[in-house]
Structure 1
Amino acid sequence: MQASGRVLVCDSIDQAGIDSMKRAGLAVDYKPEIKATELVAGVKGYDVIIVRSRTKITKEIIDASDAKIIARVGVGLDNVDVKAAEAKKIRVINAPEAASTAVAELAIGLMISLARSIPRADAEAKKGNWIKKELMGTQLSGKYLGIVGVGNIGRNIGRMARSLRMNLIGYDPYPINKEFVGETGMIVTDLDTLVESADFITCHVPSTPETKHMFNAARFAKMKPTAYLVNTSRGEIIDENALYEALKGGKLAGAALDVYEVEPPTNKLLLGLPNVISTPHIGAQTKEAQELASTVIAEKVIQILRGVI
């Protein structure tokens, strides 16, 4: 059954999803560089607005639109005014399942990089500096990994970490899947106990008023001075100034950040520390994840317009 409607794609997405929507009979306009002012002026007449990370779908854009669906090719909905959309009875959808493997693999990679100082070792070796004696690392095997937010990504990381013979501690404000807990032997606890006990902490929570600066000076003071923090979720959950002070003062061994309070990041003091690894929000930046996210969103859009879901 063919679908009907006009689709505006505002950001760069994988071609597979665009092709899928066109095959289903949708008219797709691909404008990955469209500006906010152009979007406000030109959004009327589209049934579907698709974005990735760059475009912010504000109340002004929503009020100017006739959209039935706003779709985010990715996990979060931080760049969509969901309340304004709901007020106009617009369906807001995303693809949280698409990036779970890619983000989990990056988090594990960052943990290993922290434990073995891989970025520093690489940089110094390329400069001709043989600093082997300075690079005494630590093994992941036998260590306690605290997973903050045990959803799709958190569970993927947990399974990977168990294959590395790590022990799991989990915190989530929502009930954690019982089968996963039984499968992995995860210790479920409150956030402060996790922070006090873990050798590595990896964060996988959304940006909400409740999670803003959940990692602050008080939490850093509870962590082991030998502990490492990894954040591939949302930058707002960490107080970057407090993290800088904790790392500089030796209250924390190191941190790896893929997300920041402001992106691109402006906290040069934090990023300049030798025990900080910084990547430019690449958690979902794999060919496989982007193709899957695009096709998942395309299929959801098609099914909604057909009245199936």
Structure 2
Amino acid sequence: MAKILVATEKPFAAIAVKGIREVVEQAGDELVLLEKYTDKAQLLDAVKDVDALIIRSDKVDNEVLDAAKQLKIVVRAGAGYDNVDLDAATAHQVCVMNTPGQNSNAVAELAFGMMVMAVRNFYNGTSGTELKGKKLGIHAFGNVGRNVARIAKGFGMEVYAYDAFCPKEVIEEAGVKAVDSAEALYETCNIVSLHIPATAETKNSINAALVGKMPKGGVLVNTARKEVINEAELIQLMEERTDLKYVTDIMPVANEEFAAKFAGRYFSTPKKMGAQTAEANINAGIAAARQIEGFLKEGIEKFRVNK
């Protein structure tokens, strides 16, 4: 019997935990919970004798992996996995997976909620603009980007996308106009929605030179990762370009400076909200449990993200 730990500082909804438990127990395994923990020592103690670990935004680093002597697999319930040290996991012979696609619609809907708020001047009572007829740029055309494109068509927007790793034909098959560079996307679109991961190549890549290409009244929407934004350059650009707005689901390091300088042009959620829906919670949690059981029982590694 395998022991599977759900370690979530920010817990799953009760109905999601119920679904996870059903998957695990039907497979003949044991589920244990560590919810709302306040100290890393609690996590280090909880992982000592577990075979598998389900997390959300919780950090799994070398110290956690050292403590987890029996650990075979970690599944991040969600698309991003930069909170897991992949090299350390590989060194410990631990498989790491994510659950791509399970949170995609939730994140896409949030992106549109933020867009509407931005173009309506944050509901301050003044006259705003509409999304219909505007050009929307999707920066990275993965699961979330595709959902953003689907919703944008319902709003009557012109949809463009750039993805260095997605073939142009795939983008255009979805009824979206593919552009050849990030620069072309930004200079074309009134609104750009970010969906790129935080990698060595993308960190700080959303800079003044790129965002500065946006047309007058441009809106940058970030539901991806804060690390991709060059905050110092974006602050300087927004000081120079008083027409630009920035809305983000990931609070910047310089949040206080953004808020103080750009009232009426800047908004950040207090905590990342992209996957915070009942549906996404359930989908990602149950998918994580199923992937663990598939790995433990049959060696299935479909969503493995480390070597």
* TM-score, scaled relative to structure 1: 0.88
Matches within 5 A, 1:138-287: 138-176=129-167, 178-250=169-241, 252-262=243-253, 266-272=254-260, 273-279=263-269, 280-287=271-278
Supply the distance in 1 between the matched residues of 2:223 and 2:62 (Cα, whole angstroms).
28
Shift of 1:60: 1.4
> 3-state DSSP class of the match of 1:113?
helix
Contact 2:81 2:98 (8 Å CA) reproduced: yes
The equivalent of 2:23 in structure 1 is 20
Shift of 1:120: 2.6
The reply to whether residue 71 of structure 1 matches residue 61 of structure 2 is no
Contact 1:169 1:189 (8 Å CA) reproduced: no
The equivalent of 1:44 in structure 2 is 48
Question: What letter matches 1:148 in structure 2?
Answer: H
Supply the distance in 1 between the matched residues of 2:48 and 2:255 (Cα, whole angstroms).
39
> 3-state DSSP class of the match of 2:292?
helix
User: Which among 23, 30, 34 is matched to residue 31 of structure 1?
Assistant: 34
| Alpha-carbon distance change, 177 to 8 in structure 1, aligned in 2, over 3 angstroms | farther
The equivalent of 2:304 in structure 1 is none
1:102-146 Cα shifts (integer Å, max 9, x gaps)? 00011111111111124433xxxxxxxxxxxxx222221221111
User: Which among 89, 92, 104 is matched to residue 88 of structure 1?
Assistant: 92
Question: What letter matches 1:198 in structure 2?
Answer: C
Supply the distance in 1 between the matched residues of 2:122 and 2:252 (Cα, whole angstroms).
25
Matches within 5 A, 1:49-60: 49-53=53-57, 55-60=58-63
Supply the distance in 2 between the matched residues of 1:113 and 1:177 (Cα, whole angstroms).
31
Question: What letter matches 1:229 in structure 2?
Answer: L
Contact 2:245 2:266 (8 Å CA) reproduced: yes
Shift of 1:198: 0.8
| Alpha-carbon distance change, 100 to 241 in structure 1, aligned in 2, over 3 angstroms | same
Supply the distance in 1 between the matched residues of 2:98 and 2:168 (Cα, whole angstroms).
22
Supply the distance in 2 between the matched residues of 1:119 and 1:136 (Cα, whole angstroms).
9
The equivalent of 2:5 in structure 1 is 8
Contact 2:51 2:71 (8 Å CA) reproduced: yes
Contact 1:224 1:251 (8 Å CA) reproduced: no
Contact 2:168 2:178 (8 Å CA) reproduced: no
Contact 1:71 1:297 (8 Å CA) reproduced: yes
Supply the distance in 2 between the matched residues of 1:231 and 1:58 (Cα, whole angstroms).
26
Contact 1:100 1:156 (8 Å CA) reproduced: yes
| Alpha-carbon distance change, 183 to 307 in structure 1, aligned in 2, over 3 angstroms | closer
Q: Which stretches in structure 1 are left out of the alignment for 5+ residues?
A: 122-134
Supply the distance in 1 between the matched residues of 2:295 and 2:56 (Cα, whole angstroms).
19
> 3-state DSSP class of the match of 1:184?
coil
Divergent runs of 4+, >6 A: none
Question: What letter matches 1:278 in structure 2?
Answer: S
* TM-score, scaled relative to structure 2: 0.88
Contact 2:161 2:171 (8 Å CA) reproduced: no
Shift of 1:223: 2.0
The equivalent of 1:300 in structure 2 is 291
| Alpha-carbon distance change, 259 to 299 in structure 1, aligned in 2, over 3 angstroms | same
| Alpha-carbon distance change, 40 to 185 in structure 1, aligned in 2, over 3 angstroms | closer
1:84-108 Cα shifts (integer Å, max 9, x gaps)? 1112221111112110000001111
> 3-state DSSP class of the match of 1:80?
coil
